[in-house]
Structure 1
């Protein structure tokens, strides 16, 4: 294609997309300059979510798109990572570029003045468009609305074994199915008193069941708490437990299905009383004083573009917050149009979550 034809095509595309041609050239030049600088830095260092499907996707796709920039990934849990960052920074060491994991780490770090406004990193028009994200106020989970961006948006509810529990019963009782004496000793919960897949749902359980309901669930129905998510998934797969509170069971039990084990896990429901709106491990933030600022800027724009947002959603089974990415969730995990859900990971709900966890701690005598 000739330079003149390419220039004309750029003008047409920019006009259709609502982008001034001069502005289009500005961002393209800035993007090319950033990539060149990132290639000189040669690496981007990140702490990311533990989801293997997510890591597999970006580890495979990134070298194809940016072979000259190494992707260095670590998967430390929130408390461990925060302790490490604080120790390093106290010693004057600034070794990390950013994070792509649960929102809680980013929220803690922004309050400590350790991260930069993320929106300053956006170069691609398709990323720097609030409409694509449902508005910045919804997409950013910090109160100022500029530090911690939630990239995923899906419903999170308890899971049940649909081969052992009739769907009609689930639809009749919803979240209160957890209080049915028939499931005494058959409910598994990933430890909610630490940062885990079982923590954020605690607020919905508290709102829907109250303290008396939580006591009945924990004490009377003898919930089993698991420090290891993988162990809980294994026990669910073996039908030793019929209801789980924590991770996406379809996603986490994939290894059993690959081995030929037939499993039929389903989400409990999609009403605001049964489920929270979750971002899971899909929150991104940028450290200040980071060692590879351009490489992180490239990563942020890359991981947030439509192509990769769709790829990550497909691989993880968790819906993207981008409104132009097709849903990947089954219907029972999609929000009801017009319904208002609890967004536990948002900073504004932190106090309510702490109150719910305090009740759970009291019931358990912790």
Structure 2
């Protein structure tokens, strides 16, 4: 196996300063010998396949194995694999940004900075180059427009405690979804556990993923969504589903979703080619346009009709503060809402 480009990158990273690592002819030659990249991701499978298709088209000698699951399941899988000395994952994307802090602490990540990341705001990339925010989303509320009149629709979290919504709400679970976990942390910080205790008495339909809750209200299974991916709501809206996004008046959780390469990646050069590809303006625009995600790339434009981030009251994520509280959040939440 040709590993020179990977080995050289590792040696140059000793200084601990991020620098741009271009996709070179030598890297591509080594990657072609490896044949593929294994990608663990929490992005909706439709979006993941759009990215994978574009990658295969641009690099015909390389394949990408898409392994999609909720962020907390991705974390659990990697932990179990590494405990058994199984190194299967090359590149990882999770909507629980605290995962990357943990993996970096464990020295499981490889330093690599895609050239486009050099232009990202500092708060959205690791200063030593171990990870960067590949995509972002908002954890939004929403409702079915055929079943709820706009004048009656909830405008914020506290509205969901109205008895009229009992048995009509759907919500994701922080034990499965990184977006849900990040959103739960933000809600608890803002409104406290007392709020979630009251909400749990509203007969909430509990689903796993924030990719599933938009589909629930689109189908009419439930009429109001407590939380769900903004990008999945955009996908439903583009598909003419009868749904509308609500940005809660108390504030909307902003969820960063980084990407990184594992140090024990079995396909290290293909991993670097893929990581560079993910952060290009072309792919960042593709996921924003077709997948509804938010991008931190300065060249990416939101599609027409979408509310600019600057017009939304945001609740920023705080992965460093959330990390030591994750087990307690999952335990307390499950005690209220079940598995």
- Judge conservation of contact 1:88–1:94 (CA < 8 Å) in 2: yes
Corresponding position of 2:244: 266
CA distance in 1, matches of 2:326, 2:305: 27
Secondary structure in 2 aligned to 1:290?
coil
The answer as to 2:288 corresponding to 1:303 is no
SS at match of 1:247: strand
- Is 1:177–2:152 an aligned residue pair? no
CA distance in 2, matches of 1:109, 1:198: 20
Query: Structure 2: how far apart are the matches of 1:205 and 1:128?
Result: 30
Distance of aligned partners of 1:302 and 1:256 in 2 relative to their CA distance in 1, 3 Å threshold: closer
**Conserved 8 A contact 2:206-2:337:** no
Among 111, 114, 132, the alignment partner of 1:149 is 132
* Runs of at least 5 residues in structure 2 that lack an aligned partner in the other structure: 1-19
| Structure 2 residue aligned with 1:139 | 124
Aligned to 2:218: 237
Distance 1:339 1:234 in 2: 25
1:188 aligns with 2:181: no
Alignment check: 8 A CA contact 1:43 1:71 kept: yes
- Offset of residue 254 of structure 1: 5.4
Partner of 2:310: 336
Cα displacement string for residues 96-133 of structure 1 (whole angstroms, at most 9, x for unaligned residues): 322123335434322322112233xx3x3xx142xx32
Q: 1:275 aligns with which of 223, 241, 252?
A: 252
Query: Matched residue of 1:58: which SS?
Result: helix
Q: Is residue 233–residue 252 contact of structure 1 (8 Å, CA) maintained in 2?
A: yes
1:37 aligns to what? 30
- Relative to structure 1, is the Cα distance of residues 248 and 329 closer, same or farther in structure 2, using a 3 angstrom cutoff? farther
Q: CA deviation at 1:83?
A: 4.7
Q: Which whole-Å CA distance do the structure 2 matches of 1:353 and 1:83 have between them?
A: 13
* Shift in Å, 1:183: 0.8
Residue number in structure 1 paired with 2:5: none
Per residue, is there more strand in 1 or in 2?
A: 2
Cα deviation for residue 317 of structure 1 reads 0.8
**SS in structure 1 at match of 2:228:** coil
- Asked if the contact 1:38/1:292 (under 8 Å) is kept, the reply is yes
Q: 3-state DSSP class of the match of 1:153?
A: strand
Q: Post-superposition shift, 1:301? A: 0.9
Q: CA RMSD in A?
A: 3.4
Q: Which has the larger radius of gyration?
A: 1
Matches within 5 A, 1:85-234: 85-102=78-95, 103-119=97-113, 122=114, 124=115, 127-129=116-118, 132-135=119-122, 138-140=123-125, 146-170=129-153, 173-195=155-177, 197-219=179-201, 221-227=202-208, 232-233=213-214
Q: How far off its partner does 1:134 sit?
A: 1.9
SS of equivalent residue, structure 1 residue 307? helix
- Distance in 2 (CA, whole Å) between partners of 1:363 and 1:93 is 35
Following superposition, the deviation at residue 78 of structure 1 comes to: 4.3
Question: Are positions 1:73 and 2:66 aligned together?
Answer: yes
Is the CA contact (8 Å cut-off) linking 1:175 and 1:208 kept in structure 2?
A: no
| C-alpha separation in 2, matches of 1:115 and 1:81 | 15
